[in-house]
Structure 1
Amino acid sequence: MSFLAPIAMPAPLTARALEAIRCDILAARLAPGEILSEAATAARLGLGKAPVRAALARLAEEGLVQAVPRRGWVVSLVTIRDIHEVFDLRLLLEPEAARRAALNPLARADAAALAQLDALCAAGYRPEATETALGFLEANRAFHVAVAGLSGNARLARQIGRLLDESTRMLVLGLRRRDRSGEMAHEHRALIAALATGDAPAAEARMQAQVSASRDMVLAALTAPDAAISVS
C-alpha cells in the first residue's frame, strides 16, 4: 500500500496555458511587475478563463506570479536577494558537479558523452538558435545539466536543473543588456577540454568562473541606473 498521494497532472488546456505563460515570463515578454488579467490572457491564448486561472495558480506555486486582490495577478519581481540565493546555490553545486564529472573514469572514457557535450555547446551559438535569449539559454541549460549528469549523481543533476530554471529569467534580462554568448562559448569549450583530460581542478575552476561571470552580468544589468525593469 502506497502512502504517497498520486501527483495530479494538469488538464490539457491548463497545461497549454501553463507552458505558454511560463515561457512568456521566463523570456521576459511578460515583464516583472506586469499585471495579468485572466480575461485578456485567455483571449490572447485562445483559451477559456478556467484553464488560465488554474495555470496562474500553478505559476504562483512556482513563485513566478502573485495574486493581487482586486487586481488579478502580477508577474513576480526579480529581487537582488533572489539573484544572490540562486547563484550562490549554483556556485555551491555546479563546480562540484564539474569536478566529479572530470574524475568519473566512465565519463572520461566515453567519447560519445563528450561529443554530446560539444554538440550541446555548439547548438547554443548557431544563428538560428540564438535569435532569442531564451533559445540560447535552453541550449546552455542542456549543457550544464549534461555536465552535472556526468557527475554520476542524478539528484545533483536534477537540483542543478531546477536552479537553472530559476535563473533563466534573470539571465534573459541580463543578456538583453550585455551579450555574453561568445564568452560562454569559449568557457564551455575550455570546460569540455578539462573533462576530456580528467583535469578535475580545471573543470571545477572553469565552472566556478562561468557561473560567477553570469551572476556578475545579471547583477550589473539589473541594478544599472537606467535598467528598464522592476528589481527590488
Structure 2
Amino acid sequence: MERLRNDIIQCKLPPGSKITEGALCDLYGFSKAPVRTALFKLSQEGLVRTVPRHGYVIAPITIKSVQDLFELRLVLEPALARMAVGKIDIDELKNLNVAPGSSKAEQAEMKFLAANRQFHLAIARASGNQKMLALMTQLLDDMAKLLHVGLFSSDWRAGSMLEVHRDQAQQHEDLITALERGDTEAAAEAAKLHVQESRDLVMKALLSQSSVTVGRVALA
C-alpha cells in the first residue's frame, strides 16, 4: 500500500478528509485485510487518525503542528550535522545539491522534493544513529505534505519556486562547505539557519490568503 502512503504525502488525499476501509478498497483494488494493516501502520506514523465508529481521517495540518515540526527539526538537524562531520560523503551531497534547471513547474517540484529529501537523509545516515534517521525520515514525510499544500500552490508556481530552489541550494552549499572543512559548529549553525529559513518560507506560504492551503490548513 505504498501508493496510499504516497497519495497522503502528496495530498492527493487532502489533509482532514475522511476515509473508510471500503472506499480505499474500491480506490486501490485491495481487500480489507491489507487496507486495514496499511491504515494501522499509517496511524502509527501519524499520517492518519482513527475516528471510533466513523473510520479514519487524513491527519490535518494545523499551524501548531507546523510549529511543532520545525521546533523538532531545529533540535535534530544541527545535531545530525555535528555527528556527520568526518563521516559524510561530500561528493554525494554535492551531486544531490543540483542547481535549479528550466524544466516544467511540476517536474521541477518533484525533482526538488526528491533531491532535498535525499540530501537530508544522507546527512542523517552519516550520523550513524538509526533512531535519529528514522525520525528524520518521518519529518521529511511531514515536510513533503507541507510543501504540496503550501509552496506548490498556483501563486508559487508563477515563478517563486525557482527562487526557492536557488535559496535552498545556497543554504545546502553552506552546509556542505562546513562539513567538508570538518567544522562541527559551523555545520550545526548552517543546518540551524537552513531550518529557520525553511520554517519562515513555509509559514509565509501557509498563512497567505491567496494560497491553496485555505480550507486545507486549520489556522489554529
Coarse TM-score class (shorter-chain normalised): 0.7 to 0.9
1:202 aligns with 2:178: no
Q: TM-score, normalised by structure 2?
A: 0.79
Q: Which residue of 2 aligns with 1:25?
A: 8
1:87-166 matched pairs, under 5 angstroms:
87-102=70-85, 104=86, 107=88, 113-122=89-98, 127=103, 131=107, 133=109, 135-166=111-142
1:124 touches 1:130 (CA, 8 Å); kept in 2? no
SS in 1 for 2:12: coil
Return the letter of the residue paired with 2:92. Answer: Q
Give the Cα separation in 1 of the matches to 2:99 and 2:108. 13
For the pair shown, the structure with the greater C-alpha radius of gyration is 1
Give the Cα separation in 2 of the matches to 1:44 and 1:126. 35
Would the alpha carbon gap of residues 25 and 124 (structure 1) be closer, same or farther in structure 2, given more than 3 Å must change? farther
| % identical equivalent positions | 38
* Aligned residues between the structures: 208
1:22-67, CA deviations, whole angstroms, 9 ceiling, x for partnerless residues?
1111111111111224333222212223322332232222222223
Q: TM-score, normalised by structure 1?
A: 0.76
Q: Which residue of 1 aligns with 2:174?
A: 190
**Higher RCO (C-alpha under 8 Å, 6+ residues apart):** 2
SS in 2 for 1:67: strand
Would the alpha carbon gap of residues 72 and 126 (structure 1) be closer, same or farther in structure 2, given more than 3 Å must change? farther
Query: Aligned-pair RMSD on alpha carbons?
Result: 2.8
Q: Which residue of 1 aligns with 2:143?
A: 167
Q: Which residue of 1 aligns with 2:202?
A: 218
SS in 1 for 2:60: coil
Give the Cα separation in 2 of the matches to 1:96 and 1:49. 42
